[in-house]
Amino acid sequence: MAAPATVSVARLRYPLVSAGKEEGSQFDASQETCRFVATGRVGPFVQETSLVGPPFASARSAGRFAPVQGTTGLSAPTPESHSQNHLAGGVSLRVEALTFAPKGEAPRLRDVTFTLPAGAKLAVLGENGAGKTTLLRLLYRFYKPTSGTICLGGFPASDFSRSDYARLLAAVLQESPADFGLSVRQVVALGRTPHRKTVRTSRSLARLAHRASSQSCESVVDDVLHRLNLDALAERPIATLSGGQRQRVMIARALAQEPRLLVLDEPTSNLDARQRLAAIEAVASLGISLVFSIHDIDIALTYADYILVLSEGRMLGLCPADPQSLQPLISEAFGAPARIEVLQPSQKACLVLDLHNSFRDRD
């Protein structure tokens, strides 16, 4: 994990890393680096991510980016900072004014805006019903936004064909069916489906989505089975596995897609303590962009680069993954004081919620 930003957050209500109207996103043509500059109550803050390939060249020629002059700050995590493998290489994600309101119902998500640099890891925290799953379903296009936009690599998500989008983004859901008669290896191999020859949208979008690999389908499947410690279960029918084992299989299937953005909805909910850490470490070390919802604050602080906090469908804030920045947001989201404690002998700082003194109990 990249070193946490040393930014003091008193009561953050705006995205720390944003490409909003006031800050904007700017492109330095000489260095081929997109810099997201955020200013405001937390002071200046700069993130960088490489933009390469034909889609970005066309964006530059179209004049979407203006030169950056004199910007300095903290460099965001890049794919080069992670171990190199056939999955390495993330894609930037931009969400702007995203709202989802089913017909005849109150909005489940309202006006969420943030930008995630390529290769960065974002944890989404909040109480049950805060909107975490809704946000992720919008990202992997299970829901269609009522308003707002989602962009991958600078292109609207709606512009991609299904196969192109599946080569860019893979999702692991909270619950997955287990009643089909396939082995573990066959289920994982289903992740290669988007790489079959299909009719694509436009040439530039296809190039962005296409992840040509020198490895065969079989070797990719073998690699992810080993990565998730599933070698011994490869020929077992998936219906015979435990809930935690099936969860690991679904993570492996998603990795077999060779995505540039992986979306996970509470990926460790069915795993024991050992497998929880093994699974999250496996996906966190890939060098791809990662968005995951989770209830474990310690895992979020350990493996994420940034943390997004939701409450009642609204975004409370986005901060670096360090206890000092997260403390006020967690207190507000859960309605209870959060205190920082230092573990011994590791000297690791963690957040502890004092639910016995909940603010809501005083109403």
The string of DSSP codes covering 26-37 is EEETTTTEEEEE
Tens digits of pLDDT across the chain (363 residues): 444 333 322 222 222 222 333 333 332 222 222 222 222 222 222 232 333 333 333 333 333 332 223 222 223 333 333 333 445 589 999 999 999 999 989 999 999 999 999 999 999 999 999 999 999 999 999 999 999 999 999 999 999 988 889 889 999 987 766 666 889 999 999 898 887 765 444 555 555 544 433 346 888 999 999 988 899 999 999 989 988 888 889 999 999 999 999 999 988 877 888 888 888 888 888 889 999 999 999 999 999 999 999 999 999 999 999 999 999 999 999 999 999 999 888 888 889 888 787 776 544
Question: Residue 111's pLDDT is what?
Answer: 97
Residue 272 DSSP SS3: coil
Peptide bond preceding 145: is omega within 30 degrees of 0, i.e. cis? no
Domains parsed from the chain with CATH numbers: 87-195+215-321 (3.40.50.300), 324-363 (no CATH)
Amino acid identity for residue 82 in this structure: H
What pLDDT is recorded for position 22? 31
Does pTM surpass 0.75?
no
Closest C-alpha among 12, 90, 87 to residue 47: 90
Helix (H) or strand (E) holding 284: helix 273-284
Nearest to 146 by CA among 93, 113, 95, 109: 109
Position 167: which residue type?
Answer: R
What is the distance between the alpha carbons of residues 334 and 338, in angstroms, rounded to a whole number? 9
So what's the pLDDT on residue 198? 53
Q: How far apart are CA 247 and CA 184, in angstroms?
A: 11
pLDDT at 96: 97
Q: From its phi and psi, is residue 105 left (phi > 0), alpha (psi between -120 and 50) or beta?
A: beta
Contact 134, 143 (CB under 8 A): yes
Phi-psi region of 317 (alpha: psi -120 to 50; beta: other; left: phi over 0): left
* CA nearest neighbour of 238 among 225, 220, 223, 226: 225
pLDDT at 24: 33
